[in-house]
Homo-oligomer: A and B are copies of this chain.
Amino acid sequence: MPEPAPSIQTTGSPSAARAWHGRCDAPDCLHCESRSTSVCSAIDDADLGRLVSSVVRMTVPPGCEFVEDGAEATDFFNVTRGTVKLFKLLPDGRRQITGFAGPGDFIGLAGAQTYGFGAEAADLVSLCRFSRRRLTRLLDDFPAFERRLLAEASAELIAAQNRMLLLGRKTARERVATFLMERMARCGNGADIALPMTRADIGDYLGLTIETVSRTFSALRKEGLLADAGPRDVRVLSVPRLRRMAEGEDL
């Protein structure tokens, strides 16, 4: 934990927000970058006024932990920019990253009174914040919104089961290959993949150590499956082989 975890910036505290964001946007749901992909797509343009009044837009600097495991679950979030790390900790510091949330992803499906996980910005992140009460009212008034949230939760549940298969039964190579396939899907299925997280993050995501992640990347490079494509990007040279490796039909 190197950084002193800079505080959260919101539209509610304009001066502080300026320090980070340069300027302080009022929420503009109609022209939101994530309008079409997020849960908000379940609400018609005509009803967006209700949404705008329920939301606070925030900008969060890298390293900032804006959800703390065990804290009271007062708010829910929608990511509109950047990447968020969701994680759980053991008392001795071991960490498991349970997911990376990107633009359009909803954070905070807890049900319980307290969060069951922590959340930290991996890079510069923009969020929409809903208070628990306002969200409940939105659910009451917009059944489609609730339906969409249920669909979201179901999809996440499926993803979680895939992650369990990975963590419980896949080898290091298979894990890294799966991770790269996942990233590819998120980066538009091009061969070039952005990795906005550190090796430590990847390791904690895949249940491996930094060193094993690094060694596995090196091995894949040596085998001609992977190439560097920038300081924080890699290029997949053989998608089919990588896919087969991810599925466990190892070579």
Query: Which residues of B have CB within 8 Å of A165?
Result: 88, 90, 96, 98
B150 in contact with A92 (CB, 8 Å): no
A92-114 vs B: 1/0 string, CB under 8 Å? 10111010000000000111100
| Range for the number of chain A residues in contact with chain B | 35 or more
B154 in contact with A96 (CB, 8 Å): no
Known: A94-B169, A161-B116, A168-B167. Contact between A109 and B249, CB under 8 A?
no
Given the complex of chains A and B, what is the CA–CA distance between A235 and B207 in angstroms? Answer: 31
Given the complex of chains A and B, what is the CA–CA distance between A79 and B89 in angstroms? Answer: 32
- A155 touches B (CB below 8 Å): yes
B155 in contact with A153 (CB, 8 Å): no
- A229 touches B (CB below 8 Å): no
Given the complex of chains A and B, what is the CA–CA distance between A117 and B160 in angstroms? Answer: 11
A143-180 vs B: 1/0 string, CB under 8 Å? 10011011101111110111111011110000000000
A248 in contact with B150 (CB, 8 Å): no
Query: Which residues of B have CB within 8 Å of A88?
Result: 161-162, 164-165
- A28 touches B (CB below 8 Å): no
A175's nearest neighbour on chain B, judged by CB, is B168
Given the complex of chains A and B, what is the CA–CA distance between A158 and B98 in angstroms? Answer: 10
Residue of A90, A157, A168 most packed against chain B (CB within 10 A): A168
Known: A96-B164, A169-B95. Contact between A157 and B150, CB under 8 A?
no
B92 in contact with A249 (CB, 8 Å): yes
- A211 touches B (CB below 8 Å): no
Closest Cβ–Cβ distance, residue A79 to chain B (whole Å): 16
| CB-CB nearest 9 A-B residue pairs | A168-B207, A111-B154, A167-B167, A160-B160, A153-B153, A90-B248, A116-B158, A96-B165, A96-B168
